[in-house]
Amino acid sequence: MSDDDWREVLTDVNAHADYYKNNIITKIQERLQSYPEYEEWKQDNFNVNHKFTVFDETLVYLAVKNDCLVLVNVLLGIEGINVDAVNRHNGHTPLHLACANGSTGVVNLLLKREDIDVNAINEDGYTPLDLACKKDKAEVVTSLLKRKDINVNAGENEGIPLHWAIERSNVQVVNFLLKIQNLNVNAIDGFGNTPLKWAIMYKNIEIINSLLKREDIDINILDKNGSTLSHSVVKWGNTEIVKTLLKIKKISVNETDKDGLTLLHSAAQYGNVGISVLIAEGISVNAIDENGCTPLHYAAEDGHKEAIDILMAKGADPLLKNKDGKTPMDLDKNGYIKQFLEKKAIKNGIIAGCATAALSTAIAVTLFATGTVAVELMSIMIAAAIVTAVALAVGGITYSILKPSTKMDETKEAQNVNRDGNVLGDGRQ
């Protein structure tokens, strides 16, 4: 039988299930007589828990699958029915399926059975509550949480329901879960990530604020890479999140990770423009890690133009060498630093030229106007034009002087030699 055949049969029986509740199995038999499944079921003595289809699905599972609410209710009243029978496809119980489908009515019927396993785990390690959270079914979650035997911390090795609710950015479900006192708000997934880190990765400031209201929240848990929450914030969070956690003192700008990276290093490496917030908090723009690399080294190597522009504007040195003798400019394959410096040089040249022009013109006009130099008006205009042209030439010369040289690293060699005259050793390339 195809899925459509089962749907037709069960929908028809469901329409009259209340009327046939005392002989529902007989009515299902009658509807199946024209199908091969009937003979197989007959050989099993019409067992109410007989497994049909290639996926070993029972009658109650098939009724749930086709959202036959009345039929489900009647079947649950049959003595000996197995409400926890699993299929062979993914290990789902009827409750798993109802939760994944968001069939609140069916879920409520199943939950009336005290013997039902509300914490059953399917082949993927998910409970019915996990699936309800993953599928964004708030009403189903509410029903499940009414059961006193529900385990809100099930699946801690891969992620608990709270993780999945955060993944869907369902604030309502998150708040439902956070009201449960025995909820492990610091549970980690398979990569050592807490629910708070998930909220940061998904950039949901509302959920972050809800999590931080829990007194038992732990912000010092390291993930499997040894990264702290603070570094996760600057890697994955946006500027608003960085500001929020700095404001409530949940992260420290002076914190370093196991590799000596400051928050500014991490922010630059991931191109997070929240770096301007960190700089405003007083973190050194030229801080070096254990390899002698500054934040600009990381931003340059990973090609984050906006981060480069911010760091350069705040005074980052593009010629500081790391322990491998590499400057940020050496690592800048996209030429973003050079572009920044050229724009700055052009701007400075124009400003210098315009300033000179304005000053020279003002002097000339003053001289002519006071009679120090007696000429006609036309002569004044010609003189002013000449002075302006000369001034713009000065601006061009200024640009040439300020324009980045291909040998900038040579002019800055002394910056990378220590007081004993020794050049720094190996580091990040």
- The H or E element that residue 287 is part of is none
Confidence of residue 347 (pLDDT cuts 50, 70, 90): confident
CA angle 422, 427, 429 (to 5 degrees): 125
Say which residues have a Cβ less than 8 Å from residue 265's Cβ, sequence separation at least 6. 287, 289, 293, 294, 295, 298
Other C-beta atoms closer than 10 Å to the C-beta of 303 total 14
Q: What is the pLDDT at residue 410?
A: 41
More confident position, 109 or 243:
109
Higher pLDDT, 383 or 169: 169
Q: In Å, how far are 103, 132, 244, 298, 421 from 425, measured between CA atoms?
A: 65, 55, 39, 18, 13
pLDDT digits (tens, 9 = 90+) for 204-241: 999 999 999 999 998 888 888 777 788 888 877 677 88
- Can you read off the two tokens belonging to residue 120? 């059953």
In 3-state terms, what secondary structure has residue 352? Answer: helix
Q: For residue 413, what pLDDT is reported?
A: 41
For residue 419, how far is the Cα from the chain centroid?
45
List all residues 6 or more positions away from 349 whose beta carbon is below 8 Å from its beta carbon: 395, 396, 398, 399, 400, 402
Q: Give helix 205-212 / helix 239-247 axis angle, nearest 10°.
A: 20
Let me know: does 246 contact 215? Beta carbons within 8 Å.
Answer: no
pLDDT-derived band at 249, boundaries 50, 70, 90: low
How much of the chain, in percent, has pLDDT values that exceed 90?
A: 58
- For residue 373, is pLDDT > 60? no
The CA distance from 269 to 302, in Å, is 6
What angle is formed at CA 195 by the lines to CA 274 and CA 186, rounded to 5 degrees? 120
Question: What's the average model confidence in pLDDT over 47-67?
Answer: 95
> Which residue do the tokens 């002989």 mark?
23
- pTM: predicted TM-score of the whole model, two decimal places: 0.72
Confidence of residue 157 (pLDDT cuts 50, 70, 90): low
Q: How confident is the model at residue 23 (pLDDT cuts 50, 70, 90)?
A: confident
Q: What is the DSSP letter of 416?
A: G
- For residues 12-27, average pLDDT: 84
Tell me what the pLDDT averaged over the chain comes to.
83
- The total of other beta-carbon atoms located within 10 Å of residue 304's CB is 23
Percentage above 70 pLDDT, the chain: 79
